[in-house]
A and B are shown apart, each in its own frame.
Chain A
Amino acid sequence: MDILLGSIQWNEILMGGDPLIVGSQIAIGLTMLGILAGLTFFKKWSWLWREWLTTVDHKRIGIMYILAGVLMFFRGGMDGILMKVQTLTPEEKFLNAQHYNEIFTTHGVIMILFMAMPFLIGLMNVVIPLQIGARDVAFPQLNALSFWLFFVGAMLFNISFVIGGSPDAGWTAYFPLAGKEFSPGIGNNYYAVAIQIAGIGTLMTGINFIVTILKMRAKGMTLLKMPMFSWTSLITSIIIVAAFPIFTVALALMTFDRIFGTHFFTISGGGMDMMWVNLFWLWGHPEVYIVVLPAFGMFSEVIATFSRKSLFGYKSMVGSIVGIAFLSMLVWVHHFFTMGAGPAVNSIFSITTMMIAIPTGVKMFNWLFTMRKGRIQFTTAMLWALAFVPNFVIGGVTGVMLAMGAADYQYHNTLFLVAHFHYVLIPGVVFAVFAGLYYWWPKMFGHMLNEKLGKIHFWFFVIGFNLTFMPMFFLGLKGAVRRSYTFSVESGFAPLFLVSGIGAFILAIGFGAFCYNIYWSARYADRNISNDPWDARTLEWATATPVQHYNFAKVPEVKSLDAFWHMKKNKVSLDISEDELEEIHMPSNSGQPIIMASIIGVAGFFLVFEWKIAALIAAVGILVGLIVRSFDYNDGYHVHIDEIKKTESKWRKVTKGVNNNVG
């Protein structure tokens, strides 16, 4: 047993003692049982397997990503609320220091990697093939594997707090703290292994979308006639391929250090702890742009649609995102100006960092000029885009303040920094995700999200957000350090912390309104909507809503930017005559991705617990999976013309009787 278990003992596995954790264990157990019983009772197992778990359809994979994103938002949000409760009053005893460390660590990891990423990649999955006029991504089965690897990684990370203990060294997991010497438990093994699994999935997504966007665009859609969201997704995918392997290596080295006793980042044996910080941010800074660029793309689509105008300065937008992508690789040292690299190095990285404000500023003005003289419709999606502009500018301007190496010695490690990056990431990413979800929801589900509930969601969320994070700027300037689990009465921080805590609850109500909106709209929203409910501009609206599984019976030919808008203006009919129809080749569903990802998850779990032999046995399973895939010659199937005729006549007829365009 000792060989199998290594140094980890059974009694370390299930966490106990803390009522919050025991409560969660029971809640998780009961929920799992409830889901299993429900699926069995309603005889939904084979439906679930056939329609969802084995699907390779980019739209369904996207929906699963988004669903996982909502769940992870809830988990990460709970972590945030717990932190805010702990700092509501001075010397609060709600959480102890260790528990607080675990919670801010998981909050950071989950919000960036398991909330922002799946939301964005999910929307990319749903929208990009439609927007460029393709029938699926380049590698549909790989796409499913990407999703399942992400999902397995996220689940592995999430079970940490009930089985074995959460990582507690911050989402940046700096050495030497994150090393075995100072964090002897298995919490940080979860960090190293779970993120690795999810990260490999993300890397595959990057490759998949580069090939899809470069090779599968509709006829006539040259790169400079491509919608802005497709552009930002392309650039994001390129950054993923350029940056994620660095993190793959960094995490692997961390795993070696923690589990196999090597000396990459340790104090002893000649290791160098600052190398982790460098490698982490060499990935970590581009990661910020990986999440924010697709969000910029979504804002571009939403703002153009609801201003009833073409995007202003399209080419300068493209230039800006390419510039941002390039600069994103050259700024990583600004995360640790205080490391002691010296004034020359710090100055160079200060300048590169400030340079990022230039292309970002160009984008800001382009959005404003897009709205200028436009006939703006204040839909919920547009409200998110409008709120994004001033809020993100606050995040950006404080970012330029932080970019000054000398001044950074003042701000470093305070709540000012925390406020800054929340002002960047929440308006930049979360607002965009909400805008995108309200905008593309009908495309996915065939009904709109309720606009009235949407506006409640919007106002609570935006007010709550500002109330939570604005005080943190001032707390930081007064000297409140980040990641500190409590503060004294004498510090004088109490009033601002209280305001910030109240803000967090208002924020939570906003998120609750969103979840209720999903539920309400799924039950009661009008299904009788047009295929183009927003009177939109791009190709994803030039087919049925919700989309038939083959996307387009005949891929439209693109003649200009905003192709669908010009088709409508020039009265180009979408109707197709029956003799134009051809059989459509589609990929078959496959159980391999989910099985493969599960085996990798099991191997990862064993590795977390340092059961090396068990992990090795599971790794053999991975090899078997690869061999099976190599011999798999399933070449997909053809959709017959009769089926296409039937599907097409259904939505084309309905559209003529419906007129519920917004605005």
Chain B
Amino acid sequence: MSANVNTSLPLEYQTEQSRLNILGFWIFLGAEIVLFATLFATYSVLKARYAGGPTPNDLFEIKGILTETILLLTSSFTCGLAIFEMRRNNRNGLVAWMIVTLLLGAGFVFMEITEFINYVHEGATMQTSAFLSSFFVLLGTHGLHVSMGIGWATMIIIQLIRRGLTPTTARKTFIIGLYWHFLDVVWIFIFTFVYLARMVG
């Protein structure tokens, strides 16, 4: 695992174990795609089953949703900048951009929770109708992923500060980067199919 460091490769790919971990994580993301695809399928089956409860037109407000989207998309960009700094071997730049990324992510989670609380106050809970069950579980799963990502990345930032940039910390940072971008892609689908398509229709 620690043996055979190949210094001609980028830092995160230098050890055998790192290469295995990164491939394994890509495959895990494949499983995550199936997971979210199933949730999207569920949503698209149940999306018009309001059971007399509120409809998207009653609930969704584009302003907040657009802000959430901008926050999360920007965080993906700053996450890219963080990996760029990692490639330049600039630990402090990496940590700084990671913190910016997490703050943007936290802003997203905060806004999403606020949005959910508003819905609940308007009487739209996950028990109200099949549409809302699938809405809350799809978005909740994504939001939970972002929250877990924030916690996970915090652990890695602590390790980067304590240990500096090593093949291991670089690999961990690279993997959380993959995860973060993946969640961004999922959000683009949520934004398109859950919000936008329902508001023009």
Which B residue's beta carbon lies closest to that of A249? B38
The reply to whether A211 and B155 contact each other, CB–CB distance below 8 Å, is: no
The reply to whether A245 and B35 contact each other, CB–CB distance below 8 Å, is: yes
- Centre residue among B34, B45, B151 by max chain A CB count within 10 A: B34
- 11 example contacts (A-B, Cβ-Cβ < 8 A) are as follows A139-B20, A211-B20, A244-B31, A246-B35, A260-B126, A263-B49, A263-B51, A268-B51, A269-B128, A271-B133, A279-B38
The reply to whether A630 and B155 contact each other, CB–CB distance below 8 Å, is: yes
The reply to whether A249 and B134 contact each other, CB–CB distance below 8 Å, is: no
Q: How far is the CB of A13 from chain B (nearest CB, A)?
A: 26
1/0 contact string of B7-35 vs chain A (CB within 8 Å): 00000000000011101100110111011
* Nearest 10 A/B pairs, CB to CB: A270-B49, A270-B130, A262-B133, A270-B51, A245-B35, A245-B34, A630-B155, A249-B38, A263-B130, A261-B127
The reply to whether B24 and A630 contact each other, CB–CB distance below 8 Å, is: no
- Centre residue among B45, B130, B152 by max chain A CB count within 10 A: B130
Chain B residues contacting A246 (CB-CB under 8 Å) are 34-35, 38
The reply to whether A270 and B1 contact each other, CB–CB distance below 8 Å, is: no
Given contacts A272-B46, A585-B1, contact A208 B24 (CB under 8 A): yes
Chain A residues contacting B35 (CB-CB under 8 Å) are 245-246, 248-249
The reply to whether B51 and A631 contact each other, CB–CB distance below 8 Å, is: no
Is the C-beta of B89 less than 8 angstroms from some C-beta in chain A? no
Candidates B2, B3, B32, B159; contact of A245 at CB < 8 Å: B32
A-facing residues in B43-86 (Cβ within 8 Å) = 45-46, 49-51
The reply to whether A249 and B24 contact each other, CB–CB distance below 8 Å, is: no
Is the C-beta of A241 less than 8 angstroms from some C-beta in chain B? yes
Chain A residues contacting B133 (CB-CB under 8 Å) are 256, 262-264, 269, 271
The reply to whether A262 and B155 contact each other, CB–CB distance below 8 Å, is: no
1/0 contact string of A250-280 vs chain B (CB within 8 Å): 1011001000111110001111100100010
Q: How far is the CB of B56 from chain A (nearest CB, A)?
A: 14
Complex Cα spacing A6 to B133, Å: 21
The reply to whether A269 and B45 contact each other, CB–CB distance below 8 Å, is: no
Is the C-beta of B39 less than 8 angstroms from some C-beta in chain A? yes
Known A-B contacts: A208-B24, A262-B133, A271-B133. Give 20 more (CB < 8 A).
A139-B21, A207-B31, A241-B27, A244-B31, A245-B32, A249-B39, A250-B38, A253-B137, A256-B126, A262-B137, A264-B130, A268-B51, A270-B49, A271-B49, A272-B46, A272-B49, A275-B46, A585-B3, A626-B152, A636-B1
Q: How far is the CB of A181 from chain B (nearest CB, A)?
A: 14
Is the C-beta of A463 less than 8 angstroms from some C-beta in chain B? no
Chain B residues contacting A206 (CB-CB under 8 Å) are 31
Candidates A203, A264, A279; contact of B46 at CB < 8 Å: A264
The reply to whether B2 and A585 contact each other, CB–CB distance below 8 Å, is: yes
- Centre residue among B27, B131, B159 by max chain A CB count within 10 A: B27
Which A residue's beta carbon lies closest to that of B27? A207
Is the C-beta of A215 less than 8 angstroms from some C-beta in chain B? yes
Complex Cα spacing A537 to B143, Å: 51
Q: How far is the CB of B142 from chain A (nearest CB, A)?
A: 13
Q: How far is the CB of B31 from chain A (nearest CB, A)?
A: 5
Q: How far is the CB of B19 from chain A (nearest CB, A)?
A: 7
Complex Cα spacing A156 to B159, Å: 36
B-facing residues in A128-173 (Cβ within 8 Å) = 138-139
Is the C-beta of A635 less than 8 angstroms from some C-beta in chain B? yes
Q: How far is the CB of B3 from chain A (nearest CB, A)?
A: 5
Chain B residues contacting A626 (CB-CB under 8 Å) are 152
Which B residue's beta carbon lies closest to that of A587? B1
Given contacts A250-B38, A263-B127, contact A630 B31 (CB under 8 A): no
Which A residue's beta carbon lies closest to that of B169? A633
Chain A residues contacting B130 (CB-CB under 8 Å) are 263-264, 269-272
Complex Cα spacing A253 to B134, Å: 9
Chain A residues contacting B20 (CB-CB under 8 Å) are 138-139, 211, 215-216
- Centre residue among A246, A253, A269, A272 by max chain B CB count within 10 A: A269
Chain A residues contacting B38 (CB-CB under 8 Å) are 245-246, 249-250, 279, 282
Which A residue's beta carbon lies closest to that of B140? A256
The reply to whether A139 and B2 contact each other, CB–CB distance below 8 Å, is: no
Complex Cα spacing A215 to B26, Å: 14
Q: How far is the CB of B186 from chain A (nearest CB, A)?
A: 13
Q: How far is the CB of A105 from chain B (nearest CB, A)?
A: 24
The reply to whether B46 and A270 contact each other, CB–CB distance below 8 Å, is: yes
Given contacts A264-B130, A270-B51, A585-B1, contact A207 B28 (CB under 8 A): yes
Is the C-beta of B168 less than 8 angstroms from some C-beta in chain A? yes
Q: How far is the CB of A428 from chain B (nearest CB, A)?
A: 25
Complex Cα spacing A321 to B23, Å: 23
Which B residue's beta carbon lies closest to that of A630? B155
Is the C-beta of B101 less than 8 angstroms from some C-beta in chain A? no
Q: How far is the CB of A223 from chain B (nearest CB, A)?
A: 15
